[in-house]
Structure 1
Amino acid sequence: MNKRRKEKVIEKPYKKKLIKRRKPNRSIVGDFFIYLALALIAAAMAFPLVFAISSSLKPLDELFLFPPRVFAQNPTLDNFQDLFVTMGKSWVTFSRYIFNTVFITVVGTFGHLIIASMGAFVLAKYDFPGSKLFFNIVVTALMFNGYVTAIPNYLIISKLGWIDTYWAIIIPAFAAPMGLFLMKQFMEGIPMSLVEAAKIDGASQWRIFINIVMPNVKPAWLTLIIFSVQNLWNNKAATFIYSEEKKTLVYALQQIQSGGIARTGQAAAVTVIVMIVPIMIFILSESQILETMASSGLKD
């Protein structure tokens, strides 16, 4: 009985110690300034988006006010209606421009994701002759801007007979070095013991890639999708595509922007339409990226 009483007496203070929580070493004033700085940064980043949307809702007389006002006093959808009327007068339908852009964006992004992921998996988890040299070439390719490689790309695509086709935009997107570099850096963090354990269990290389590797690098391929969609959606493709029925939506809308002062309101509507898809892709993927980065860490 005495031993049991002693054990009870010892347990009580131990339990109290477990309940105690550490208090952060920040003061209330420090927290206030941190949140204030974050609020100012968020406002500065959101201002261009808010101003663009507000400008698209302004009537023509408000667009020329000086100093300009951030918010529309008499919001209207006339700019969007005028834009669709103008696009409807074109001999190529508005839906055709949308189809061209969506097809190039979806196929180019999907192909880039698959090729970059498979190449990164081999480079990150297997050693073979020339693997380091190949990766060094990929890193070197990151140094060159698209304007630098424009002439060589045009010559190669012309020799292949892809001028004035969708493939002139899609195939080069497959080989963008940024995706391979990003995926390889993430895949190097996956323990090789996990891959070897799957091999022992009889999993094929394709199953290891699909069911083990890709779920654990979800932040990487979601980020890759954002970059690829943004690049392809905003691609005018004017260098390689000459037929009007194959032009992209961005090219057609930018032709409206060059219509002069009378189309200023339509130009503001064009800006919103062009940027809304990349922003929506980012918003839909952001929560998944943060959630996966917080819960999918693996270490050897």
Structure 2
Amino acid sequence: MNSLKRKKDYYKKPSRWKIRHTKQLNRSMAGNTILFVIMGICGVFMALPLVMILNNALKPLDELFRYPPQIFVRNPSLDNFSDLYVLMSSSWVPFTRYVLNTLIITGLGTVGHVLFASLAAYPLAKHDFPGKKFLFSMVVLSLMFSYNVTAIPNYMIISWLGINNTYLAVILPAFAYGLGLYLMKQFMEQIPDSLIESARLDGAGEFRIFFSIIMPNVKPAWLTLAIFQFQTLWANTGSGFLRSEQLKPLQYALYQIVAGGPARQGAGAVVQLIIAAIPITFFIICQSNVIETMTTSGMKD
């Protein structure tokens, strides 16, 4: 009995390695304070451009052209908003049309990219078939080429398909970004194969497994991908593909307003605020899901 009791007491006591390891993970109050100060300074610098965009939209023209430039507005005014309304209401294409075009391109392009990237990543991550490694190597290789390198081949393909000067000319290429496929494959590989095999034994088909098991478990991944794609498409000008003025996105309208001269700088500041506000709002809505822990982090075969 005494020997058995000593063994129990031995296993209850933390080992030296555990004690040393715990001490290494714990930070002192001074270390936490320094880390908090550094993160606070970095946060202020990252928030500074957003604060300046907001203040520029409220600045009168004399403050916009003041040198050295000031971050905060002294005499806030809504004249820039009224100038933008008057300017766009008298234009050939209404301002709401530019906003609608951007919403169509961004919404369909983001949803389509997440769906197609996930559907293509699922067999690469959880199925074995001839040429699997070669296809994934081609996807990784495509990440090395910038947009300038593939611009001419993309234009030739879009023209050959006969969809130039349409929404599809901007939306369809967004479906084929290799970064999304790579990201989704890496996350899907973390899902245990036993979970999928159990679903197959219960009679679930591949699409049922994909939409009921795979996608919910990689929710942080495809929400992160949606944020990246949303920001990319929201800033798209449609140059090279969209020639009709009624199909131009909001970013194109910004360039046209700013190109009108110094008198339109106030209206241009308001458009910059509108362009920045929508992606930020989308990120705030999705950030709680993006930073959450993967549901399969503690699962093992």
TM-score with structure 2 setting the length: 0.89
Matches within 5 A, 1:198-217: 198-217=199-218
- Structure 1: gaps spanning 5 or more residues: 1-13, 15-21
Shift in Å at residue 28 of structure 1?
2.3
Would the aligned equivalents of 2:56 and 2:269 in 1 still touch at CA under 8 Å? Answer: yes
Measured in 1, the distance between the counterparts of 2:89 and 2:205 equals 53
What is residue 251 of structure 2 aligned with on the other side? 250
Shift in Å at residue 130 of structure 1?
0.8
Of 240-249 and 91-100, deviating more is 91-100
Matches within 5 A, 1:277-292: 277-292=278-293
Matches within 5 A, 1:65-144: 65-144=66-145
TM-score with structure 1 setting the length: 0.90
Shift in Å at residue 37 of structure 1?
0.5
Runs of 4+ in 1 over 4 A off after TM superposition: none
SS of corresponding position for 1:235: coil
Tell me which amino acid in the other structure corresponds to 2:38: A
Would the aligned equivalents of 1:189 and 1:299 in 2 still touch at CA under 8 Å? Answer: no
What is residue 226 of structure 2 aligned with on the other side? 225
Tell me which amino acid in the other structure corresponds to 2:194: S
Tell me which amino acid in the other structure corresponds to 1:92: V
Measured in 1, the distance between the counterparts of 2:98 and 2:300 equals 47
CA RMSD of aligned residues (A): 1.9
- Structure 2: gaps spanning 5 or more residues: 1-11, 13-21
Shift in Å at residue 190 of structure 1?
0.3
What is residue 36 of structure 1 aligned with on the other side? 37
Measured in 1, the distance between the counterparts of 2:221 and 2:291 equals 11
SS of corresponding position for 2:88: helix
Tell me which amino acid in the other structure corresponds to 1:90: S
What is residue 48 of structure 2 aligned with on the other side? 47
Measured in 1, the distance between the counterparts of 2:291 and 2:232 equals 22
Would the aligned equivalents of 2:191 and 2:296 in 1 still touch at CA under 8 Å? Answer: no
Would the aligned equivalents of 2:143 and 2:178 in 1 still touch at CA under 8 Å? Answer: yes
SS of corresponding position for 2:53: helix
Would the aligned equivalents of 2:57 and 2:270 in 1 still touch at CA under 8 Å? Answer: yes
Residues 204-237 of structure 1 show CA distances to partners (whole Å, capped at 9, x for unaligned) of: 1111101110011011100110011111111000
Measured in 1, the distance between the counterparts of 2:281 and 2:293 equals 19
* Change in CA separation of 1:206 and 1:69 when aligned onto 2, cut-off 3 Å: same
Matches within 5 A, 1:118-197: 118-197=119-198
